[in-house]
Amino acid sequence: MKIRNPLYRRLFLLLAAAGCASPLFGGALTNPETEKRIDSLLERMTLQEKVGQLVQYSDVFNTGPAADNDRNRRRNERIRTGQIGSLLNVTGAQATRETQKLAVEGSRLRIPLIFGLDVIHGYKTSFPIPLAEAASFDMETVALSARIAAIEAAAAGIHWTFAPMVDIARDARWGRIMEGAGEDPYLGAQVAAARVRGFQGNDLAAVDTIAACAKHYAAYGFAEGGRDYNTVDVSEHTLRNVVLPPFKAASEAGVVTFMNAFNEIGGVPATASAFLQRTILKGEWGFEGFIVSDWNSIGELVQHGVAKDGREAARLAITAGSDMDMESSVYDRHLVELAESGAVDKRLIDDAVRRVLRVKFRLGLFDDPYRYSNDERERRALADPAHSEAAREVARQSIVLLRNEGGLLPLGKTGGILAVIGPLADDTDTPKGNWRGRAATDPAVSLLEGIRAAVGSDVKVRHAAGARLDVIDRGFFRQVRFDEEDRSGFPAAIEAARDADAVILAIGETAFQTGEAQSQVEISLQPIHVDLLREVHAVNRNVVLVLMNGRPLVIGEIAETVPAIVEAWHLGAQAGHAIADVLFGDYNPSGKLPVSFPRHVGQEPLYYNAKNTGRPGPQESFYSYYTDCPNTPLYPFGFGLSYTTFEYSDLKLSRQEIGPDDELRVTVTVANTGQRTGVEVAQLYIRDLVGSVTRPVKELKGFQKVELAPGEAKAIAFTVTSKDLAFYTAAGRWEAEPGAFDVYVGGNSDDLQKAEFTLR
Ligand code: BGC
């Protein structure tokens, strides 16, 4: 692995040490010795104890509808009698050790519990939200953040994270778009594999790696209208070509668990889908780990209307291949009876238990069930300054520069006055985003703090929020919300801005405006913030807009009026420092959008790899368009500026025609035509011109980061093989079809050099 940034060296030793740099998780999940030990356990287990392994409950802390309190009171007793195999949301070395003790010292067969938690973008050290990290287009970076999250979580007794979320998301209304890698299956697959490597390393039994979980299987991101939990109706064509590639990549990277999904697909809830779970995942892909349901998704088969009661729901889910029941209690209540009555084949239960036990063995829990719960390691890991250093580096790489008219950025650090404005400017909560691991109450570095630290006393920094944030305290989910009415802060903000050399204005979305159950029909900036921006801009043109958000936003006319726009997402604990690094040019931004930004919410779902349609236009009328908005996005997939400029030239192919086993070399020269050293993400796309089924107008098939000094030019090469051209064909096979292809290379999905070749 090439280490670009010297700052990184020490951190990458962490990656290398765990084998996260290697392409594949070491070895298959099964081995004869473990299978024998599992056989012997299965022989000794009662049916009740077997079912216990398939039951998962949450601790008192809930991430879904309220749990049953009586159940919590009885929890300890039930662990001691082998009726619970896993818990989620129990955290900390001490708590996990004490709870584990109930299982291994109290229960008859001493089978350890597996503790799971949503470690989505950090455990204690908060990293950028996953959508932001995907903007780095840097798989070392993505793996590093997962690696550090694993080190911290494992030290606190966690064995298993419910991540990565690898759902392709094409609709910005869907709140959970923040949790994944955006709209593209190729980028999504790379990120999925990188995160799995980061969490799992190549030795799951190491005390600083944790089991990963590819979720939500499948097509959860395709909810109609972008409304969370809503119906999904995708064809097998879309499923195989768009939805599944990141799941498959996670599976190939050795992920040991999958989570199924809340949604139905074409009339079959994913949790009850034998096609998804048995035919594809456990059959075609040979997955040997286990599938956990989503929170209560087995019980919800009743609400879906495919099961008349919990008993029927349990029967459907186990038959379809859902191995572990998160929270719905229906396995707990009904599986023993279902198996005894013959309504469920006992072999299905044995298979599910075997899968769960395999992962427990692989984690080393049978050798030492307390190995992860170490107070000293927990104390050290959670306070390691290298983790904050990494969080800052990952955050800088995730920032996308969207506009920089007249070179307003970077700002100078000596002399002058800066006005720092906006409700998010001094907010230490929002940058942490949704899903916070155990960083809930730790403040992030605010933008204002980051700016002050960067400029010291050389620049006069004035702060005026302009608009307010209200703090709402909902227990663990401490959060803030915009005040949409109060304009009393406007005059002070305008005064602060009037004679400043530049204004930095931070608006966007608060942390919990995106995430689970946070779908919106409106994805524009708040009207009160747009007014604040307009009034400030009227007295001072030098406005740098800093956007903090978890989904693409509609920013309207601002895109043309404000000279500089920085996409700063929800960047985690070090957000303020990372943004300041970019604002003052200590870091030259290189992030690229992993998702298209619409002009209008009505364009959603909006994605670059769309189909041509029979009437692509443009023509006078009767083509596929809106009468009141262009088809194009405001900012395309893959877009992002730098403080320098890059030019692409000399696109060349090693040959005009390739056979199925040949390699095509695609070379292009990238030149730095500006004044600063910068990093460009060169992207390669293809178009299959004629297929047995319709093909997208463009598909990403490769990207490379290249660093160039001013005036420097480098030839970079991509290799394309028939594997890159394969798709799910009309014949129901994953293969490339002969014919003509376009190949494109450039700095974003819209601005590309083109060449052509043929596959024989
Ligand atoms: C979410 C999952 C999460 C689970 C456990 C569910 O509501 O959909 O992504 O892992 O809760 O917290």
- Residue 71: predicted pLDDT: 57
Dist. CA 63 → ligand 1 center (Å)? 6
Q: Does the CB atom of residue 64 touch ligand 1 within 6 A? A: yes
Q: Does the CB atom of residue 176 touch ligand 1 within 6 A? A: no
- Residue 543: predicted pLDDT: 98
Q: Which 8-state DSSP code applies to residue 112? A: P
Sign of the torsion angle spanned by Cα atoms 53, 58, 64, 65: positive
In a domain, 210, yes or no: no
- Same domain, yes or no: 551 and 666: no
Dist. CA 117 → ligand 1 center (Å)? 9
Nearest-atom index, ligand 1, CA of 213 = 10
- Same domain, yes or no: 581 and 701: no
Dist. CA 303 → ligand 1 center (Å)? 18
Dist. CA 627 → ligand 1 center (Å)? 40
- What is the average pLDDT across 297-315? 98
571, 657 Cβ separation under 8 angstroms: no
- What is the average pLDDT across 260-272? 98
In a domain, 620, yes or no: no
Per-residue pLDDT at 676 exceeds 80 = yes
- Same domain, yes or no: 580 and 691: no
The protein residue whose alpha carbon is closest to atom 12 in ligand 1 is 63
Per-residue pLDDT at 432 exceeds 70 = yes
The protein residue whose alpha carbon is closest to atom 11 in ligand 1 is 295
CATH of the domain at 692: 2.60.40.10
- Residue 8: predicted pLDDT: 53
Q: Which of 3-17, 359-373, 442-456, 677-691 has the lowest mean pLDDT?
A: 3-17
The protein residue whose alpha carbon is closest to atom 4 in ligand 1 is 295
- Residue 472: predicted pLDDT: 80
In a domain, 546, yes or no: yes
Nearest-atom index, ligand 1, CA of 63 = 12
- Same domain, yes or no: 710 and 589: no
- Residue 20: predicted pLDDT: 52
How does residue 63 score in pLDDT terms, banded at 50, 70 and 90?
very low
| Per-residue pLDDT reduced to its tens digit, 82-137 | 999 999 999 999 999 999 999 999 999 999 999 999 999 999 999 999 999 999 99
Q: Which 8-state DSSP code applies to residue 297? A: T
- Residue 28: predicted pLDDT: 80
Per-residue pLDDT at 13 exceeds 70 = no
- Residue 167: predicted pLDDT: 98
| Candidate list 118, 167, 171, 294, residue with the active-site label | 294
Per-residue pLDDT at 309 exceeds 50 = yes
- Same domain, yes or no: 590 and 657: no
Distance CA 631, CA 600 (A): 10
Nearest-atom index, ligand 1, CA of 215 = 9
- What is the average pLDDT across 673-679? 98
Q: Does the CB atom of residue 179 touch ligand 1 within 6 A? A: no
- Same domain, yes or no: 418 and 551: yes
- Same domain, yes or no: 552 and 467: yes
Nearest-atom index, ligand 1, CA of 261 = 8
The kind and range of the H/E element at 463 are strand 460-464
The protein residue whose alpha carbon is closest to atom 6 in ligand 1 is 295
| Averaged pLDDT score across all residues of the chain | 94
Distance CA 604, CA 177 (A): 13
Per-residue pLDDT at 5 exceeds 60 = no
Q: Does the CB atom of residue 435 touch ligand 1 within 6 A? A: no
How does residue 2 score in pLDDT terms, banded at 50, 70 and 90?
very low
Per-residue pLDDT at 347 exceeds 60 = yes
- What is the average pLDDT across 676-688? 98
- Same domain, yes or no: 432 and 561: yes
Per-residue pLDDT at 1 exceeds 50 = no
How does residue 471 score in pLDDT terms, banded at 50, 70 and 90?
confident
Q: Which of 59, 118, 215, 327 has the most ligand 1 atoms within 8 A of CB, as the residue to mutate? A: 118
- Residue 38: predicted pLDDT: 98
Per-residue pLDDT at 26 exceeds 60 = no
- Same domain, yes or no: 571 and 650: no
- What is the average pLDDT across 167-175? 98
The protein residue whose alpha carbon is closest to atom 2 in ligand 1 is 294
Last residue of a domain, one of 566, 595, 624: 595
How does residue 75 score in pLDDT terms, banded at 50, 70 and 90?
confident
Per-residue pLDDT at 569 exceeds 80 = yes
- What is the average pLDDT across 606-619? 97
Burial of 488 (0-12, 13-18, 19+ CB in 10 A): exposed
Structure tokens at 516: 């689970």
Nearest-atom index, ligand 1, CA of 220 = 8
Per-residue pLDDT at 67 exceeds 50 = no
Q: Does the CB atom of residue 311 touch ligand 1 within 6 A? A: no
Sign of the torsion angle spanned by Cα atoms 385, 391, 396, 397: positive
Dist. CA 59 → ligand 1 center (Å)? 14
Q: Which residue has the tokens 């995160």?
A: 195
Per-residue pLDDT at 685 exceeds 90 = yes
- What is the average pLDDT across 589-603? 98
- Residue 723: predicted pLDDT: 97
| Per-residue pLDDT reduced to its tens digit, 688-735 | 999 999 999 999 999 999 999 999 999 999 999 999 999 999 999 999
Distance CA 699, CA 612 (A): 12
Structure tokens at 501: 């050399």
How does residue 441 score in pLDDT terms, banded at 50, 70 and 90?
confident
In a domain, 557, yes or no: yes
- Residue 151: predicted pLDDT: 97
Last residue of a domain, one of 577, 595, 613: 595
Per-residue pLDDT at 477 exceeds 70 = no
- What is the average pLDDT across 634-653? 98
DSSP-derived 3-state class of residue 344 = coil
The protein residue whose alpha carbon is closest to atom 10 in ligand 1 is 162
How does residue 659 score in pLDDT terms, banded at 50, 70 and 90?
very high
Q: Does the CB atom of residue 138 touch ligand 1 within 6 A? A: no
Instruction: Quickly list H helices, 346-462.
Output: 346-362, 375-382, 385-398, 447-455
CATH of the domain at 487: 3.40.50.1700
Number of domains in the chain: 2
- Same domain, yes or no: 551 and 650: no
pTM of the entire structure? 0.96
- Same domain, yes or no: 574 and 456: yes
- Same domain, yes or no: 590 and 717: no
- What is the average pLDDT across 204-220? 97
Comparing CA positions, the residue from 362, 398, 371 lying closest to residue 212 is 362
Over the range 412-435, which residues count as b (16 or more CB within 10 Å of their CB) and which as e? ebeeebbbbbbbbbbbbbbbbbbb
| Per-residue pLDDT reduced to its tens digit, 698-711 | 999 999 999 999 99
Per-residue pLDDT at 62 exceeds 50 = no
In a domain, 700, yes or no: yes
The protein residue whose alpha carbon is closest to atom 8 in ligand 1 is 294
How does residue 10 score in pLDDT terms, banded at 50, 70 and 90?
low
Q: What percent of the chain lies above the pLDDT cut of 70? A: 94
Nearest-atom index, ligand 1, CA of 64 = 7
In a domain, 286, yes or no: no
- Residue 205: predicted pLDDT: 95
Distance CA 438, CA 126 (A): 9
Dist. CA 162 → ligand 1 center (Å)? 7
Query: Catalytic residue at 294?
Result: yes
Nearest-atom index, ligand 1, CA of 89 = 12
Q: Does the CB atom of residue 215 touch ligand 1 within 6 A? A: yes
In a domain, 501, yes or no: yes
Distance CA 531, CA 225 (A): 29
Q: What percent of the chain lies above the pLDDT cut of 90? A: 91
Type of residue found at 531: D
Q: Does the CB atom of residue 162 touch ligand 1 within 6 A? A: yes
In a domain, 477, yes or no: yes
Q: Does the CB atom of residue 63 touch ligand 1 within 6 A? A: yes
- Residue 15: predicted pLDDT: 59
Dist. CA 307 → ligand 1 center (Å)? 22
The kind and range of the H/E element at 187 are helix 185-200
- Residue 480: predicted pLDDT: 85
Instruction: Quickly list H helices, 258-345.
Output: 274, 301-304, 310-320, 330-340
Q: By residue range, what is the domain housing residue 693?
A: 646-759
Dist. CA 125 → ligand 1 center (Å)? 20
How does residue 178 score in pLDDT terms, banded at 50, 70 and 90?
very high
How does residue 478 score in pLDDT terms, banded at 50, 70 and 90?
low
How does residue 440 score in pLDDT terms, banded at 50, 70 and 90?
confident
Q: Where are the beta strands (DSSP E) in 522-571?
A: 543-548, 564-567
Last residue of a domain, one of 563, 580, 595: 595
